[in-house]
Structure 1
Amino acid sequence: PIVTTIATGAVYYGLALLLRPVPGGSINEDLADVLTGKVAGVVPASLLILLAAVVIIWIPFKRSVIGRAAYAAGSSESAAFLSGMPILRAKFASYTLAGLLAAIGGLFLTFFTDTGEASLGSANSYTLFSIAAVVIGGVSLLGGKGSAIGAVFGAFAFRSIGDLLFVFNVDALWQPLFQGVILLLAVAIGACGLFRVRNRLEWF
Structure 2
Amino acid sequence: MKEKSLLREEMKKILGGMDRSSHDMQSKEIQDRLFSSTEWQDAQTIAVTISRFPEVDTEAIITRAWDEEKKVAVPKCFPKDKSMHFYYLENFNQLESVYFRLKEPIVTEVEMCPKDKLELMLVPGLIFDEEGYRIGFGGGYFDRYLVDYTGYKVSLAFSQQMVKKVPTDHYDIPVHKIVTNEVVYDCTIRK
TM-score for both structures, normalised by structure 1: 0.24
| Higher strand fraction (1 or 2) | 2
Q: Taking structure 2 as the reference length, what is the TM-score of the superposition? A: 0.25
Higher Cα Rg, which structure: 1
Indicate the structure with greater helix content.
1
